[in-house]
Amino acid sequence: MATLAEGDVTGAAALAEEAVTAGRDSGSLAALRFALMLSGVTALERRDPRSAADRYREALTVCRDTGQRHEALNCLEGLGAAAHLAGDRLRAARLFGAARALLNAGGLHPEPGADRDCYDHHLAALRSALAGEVFQAEWAVGRAMTFDEAVAHALEPATV
């Protein structure tokens, strides 16, 4: 995360991939989840939505299976950013809306960091790219989702 925050996306991506391998080798699902999420954000920064979505989907599955709800919501935002980057703006608005509503409902707040900066950048660009009423309609669809519905939606293959 520090390497990414310093602006070294290539270095951060290499370290993230090493961490994914180490997480898999260690058998630690917590380490694997963290490494997958870091790999996802570095893929977003490299403008590679397919790799980002793959990493976040795997991390989301780990979160769902281990009960890591807060981290799962971060994965929803990462998948929203990946959908935005891939041009699937409606899906992106739904995923961001679901993540924010579920965070708020749980009394949770987005944590600061390089990943948060990345998600916020994509959310701001998404708001600018979609007509206000379209964004609000899709955001509302996401906000109405339960946790299980949001996770199921996020794990569906993207159409773009």
Dist. CA 85–CA 101, nearest whole Å: 22
Dist. CA 28–CA 19, nearest whole Å: 11
Tell me the average pLDDT across 146-160.
86
Highest mean pLDDT among 32-36, 66-70, 120-124, 129-133: 32-36
User: Which structure tokens are listed for 25?
Assistant: 């080798």
**Sign of the C-alpha dihedral computed for residues 20, 7, 117 and 142 taken in this order:** negative
Is the confidence at residue 65, as pLDDT, over 90? yes
Task: Indicate the domain borders of the chain.
Answer: 2-148
Taking every pair of Cα atoms in the chain, the longest distance, rounded to a whole number of angstroms, is 47
pLDDT at 113: 67
Q: DSSP code of 111?
A: P
CATH annotation of 2-148: 1.25.40
Predicted confidence band at 159 (pLDDT cuts at 50, 70, 90)? low
Tell me the average pLDDT across 7-27.
90
